[in-house]
Each structure stands twice: as structure tokens, then as C-alpha cells.
């Protein structure tokens, strides 16, 4: 979730946001963007929107494998 101010209305900043969103999308993530005034004035609705997006997305397993368990001291193979 990103809370955007007026600077994100600038075309250069909006382009940077799209590039960043694409990077996140390649990792299977989405960016939810909200205007800072909306968050301030309609916080309950923003929270419900974020909640609804989270519930609608399937649970995913980490793409990277878990690190191996630590080796115990004094173990012999």
C-alpha cells in the first residue's frame, strides 16, 4: 500500500510509480495506491478496501526456499 501526495500527479513521478509497480508485479505483488487526503478523510473505507484486496488474493508460498536448518554442534555423520 502506498499513500500518495500531490507529487504523484506529476507525469515523471507517475512513470516512476508504474516502473516500481511492474517490479513488484514480477514478484507476484500488487501496489494499492491511495491519495493521502482519501486516507485522512475516509480511513475506514481505505482499510476495508485493503482488507478486501488481501482476502481476494490467494495465499502464496514463498518463492525462495527456506534456509537449511542450522547444523548442531558435535554431530557426526
The reply to whether the predicted model has a pTM over 0.75 is no
Domain of residue 27: give its range: 2-56
pLDDT in tens, 27-66: 888 899 999 999 999 999 999 999 999 999 877 665 665 5
Angle at alpha carbon of residue 23, lines to 35 and 28, rounded to 5°: 90
Structural domain includes residue 61: no
The number of domains in the chain is 1
Check: CB of residue 3 under 8 Å from CB of residue 39.
yes
In a domain, 14, yes or no: yes
The answer to whether position 33 is within a domain reads yes
Whether residue 67 lies inside any domain: the answer is no
Amino acid at each position: 500500500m502506498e499513500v500518495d501526495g500531490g507529487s504523484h500527479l506529476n507525469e515523471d513521478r507517475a512513470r516512476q510509480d508504474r516502473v516500481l509497480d511492474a517490479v513488484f508485479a514480477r514478484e507476484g505483488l500488487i501496489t494499492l495506491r491511495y491519495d493521502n487526503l482519501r486516507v485522512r478523510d475516509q480511513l475506514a473505507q481505505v482499510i476495508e478496501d485493503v482488507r478486501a484486496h488481501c482476502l481476494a488474493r490467494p495465499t502464496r508460498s514463498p518463492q525462495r526456499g527456506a534456509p537449511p536448518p542450522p547444523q548442531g554442534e558435535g554431530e557426526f555423520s
